[in-house]
Amino acid sequence: MLTLATTSVVSLSTTRVPESRSFTDAIHRTIELDPLSVQVIDTPEFQRLRGIAQLGHCSWVFPSATHDRFQHSLGVAHLAGAWAEHFQRTQPELQLSDTDVLCVRLAGLLHDLGHGPFSHFWEHDFIPAARPAASSRTYCHEEVSGRMLDRIFETSNIDVSPWLTQRDITFIKELIGSSPPSASSGRLGASGVPGLDKGFLYQIVANPVSGLDVDKLDYFERDSYFAGIVKVSFDARRLMRLARVARAGGRLQICFPEKCASEVLHVFQSRFNLHNELYQHRVAQQVALMLCDALVLAEPHLPVQLPGGRQILLHECGSGSDPSLDGFLQLSDAIVPLLLAEAAKPDAAPDLMRAAELVQRVRRRKLYKYVGSVVLDPQDLDRAWLTRQGQAEIASQIAAIMRGAEGGGAALESKTLRVDMRRVNYGRGDRNPLESVFFFDNKRRQMWRGKRGDAGSGRGDAGSGRGDAGSGRGDASSGDGRGRGDGRDDGREDGGVLEAHLSRRFCDSAAQLPRAFQESSLRLFITAPQPELLEAARSAFQQWCDERDLCEDGEEECVVRGLEPSYE
């Protein structure tokens, strides 16, 4: 049974002034955080992140990848605050206040509070497997992060009044994606008007427009460093330093000089490589399947104790059954050692002992077997295969083929076969990611000096993608956003800002771009250890692919067989 430990929060003395704090970090070297951020870090809600592995179950495959969400959150806070301060310093016409910068930094600090044990594994593997099909809405770590933020400010002894109002707290929750942007935050004024339109701040921590944000800039570099693979080929600090806020698509947005297009592409390439070689590693998926099965078996025997004596199940932590998040606050990666300890008791239930055996098999590298995989062309991909129900149906169809074959597994148990859809892309599905990024031409220094509403009136309109925003056939384009105009005035009286555009020259550059931006494949695993069943599953998988014309013309076999690693 999980029991919430009594936690005493030491209140700050009225005579003690909160201080800033310096942290030493493997990626960013020195991180300086403000007094309010330091007080938030010292709460039990934030300290819990020390027990949540950043890469979850991947550390069973990459032994050095043991960094945690605590470290990542500090790194994102550092980058978020630095980027907001950069815009505040270099573009005073944006009228960013110190409170705006603080809100962005706090959003970076708090954005991952809602992660469960083993990070994304909890959200994408365990919760869907543990919750009944008729359960209500899906667990979302961003939504739980917003609730944890409320818990910190409502239950701790932190006095936020010198720094934040309730409107600012709402803004922070919107920045981390726990609630949609709204006018109540006070940052979505007249579109495209400097000082009123601060919507670009929503693109710093969790960018809904292009996907290029400080969350990814930190974990791409951090994960590759600690896992020891996929060295990133971009300079995050240079990209941040050269970025400007410009008018694009009718709003102020974060944009980059055209000369950085290749480096921006490298960010998205790093995402592809990390998913390919780390996050969706085949052996890591085998570990995930076994851990998920173990926790589903053990869950009825590991109730979570709430204040007042009520008990809930693991998958109910963070849901409506846990309104105050007292249960969720108890969750960490220590759930696996707890499972083993409970299973070692003389009166342990059979399912709990079976769960412990699965964990021990992971430790001994006696994993579920990899049957093989088939690469899917875009036209062959059935959308239903992306769902858990669709993948279970594929497993059932392959199992039926096995049962119909002589000696192919007539006594095959349910869930012996497991199907996983592997999708690796540049962050925008099968689209070119550069099509979602706005650029400006830094060689043309002329500032946009028109009235609001003039943007987009000409044929070189920002965001149209049909011409260069500084071509002279419409609105004038770019400068560096710091008031250097065309020699006639500095452009600040009417809020001069850069004009940006979608650069088709780079979007269509065949020299740099891959043939496809997304790869999809179906992977099949089998839980049974018998070699004859493994071979029967491979034959049945091949037959299933043949029946659906997934093999190319002239290709006798399209199922790529797994070569078991030497350490298994």
**Catalytic residue ranges:** 141
Residues 500, 209: Cα–Cα separation, whole Å: 14
What are the two backbone dihedrals, phi and then psi, of residue 425, each rounded to the nearest 5 degrees?
A: -145, -175
367: how many CB neighbours lie within 10 A of its CB? 22
Give the tokens for residue 84. Answer: 């907001």
The secondary structure of 400-460 as a DSSP string is HHHHHSTTS-TTPPTT-EEEEEEEEESSSTTS-GGGG--EE-TT--PPP-PPTT-TTSSTT
61, 111 in Cβ contact below 8 A? no
DSSP assignment of 120-179, as one string? HHIIIIIHHHHS-TT--SPP-HHHHHHHHHHHHHHHS----TTT--HHHHHHHHHHTTSS
- The dihedral of CA 216, 149, 331, 320: what is its sign? negative
Tokens of 10: 């030491």
Q: How many whole angstroms separate alpha carbon 174 and alpha carbon 159?
A: 21
Of 527, 531, 473, the C-alpha closest to 501 is: 473
Q: Which residues contact 179 (CB under 8 A, 6 or more apart)?
A: 146, 170, 173
Measuring CA to CA, which residue among 387, 440, 429 is closest to residue 133? 387
Whole-angstrom Cα distance, residue 344 to residue 391? Answer: 35
Q: What distance in Å separates the CA atoms of residue 351 and residue 291, rounded to the nearest whole number?
A: 14
Name the strands in the sheet holding 369-376, side by side, starting at the edge strand that comes first in the sequence: 417-425, 518-526, 369-376, 560-561
Q: For residues 200 and 193, what is the distance between their CA atoms, to the nearest angstrom?
A: 12
d(Cα 458, Cα 469) in Å, to the nearest integer? 9
Residue 485, class by beta-carbon neighbours within 10 Å (0-12 exposed, 13-18 middle, 19+ buried)? Answer: middle
The token pair that represents 154 in the structure block: 């409502």
CB-based contact 473:499 (threshold 8 Å) = no
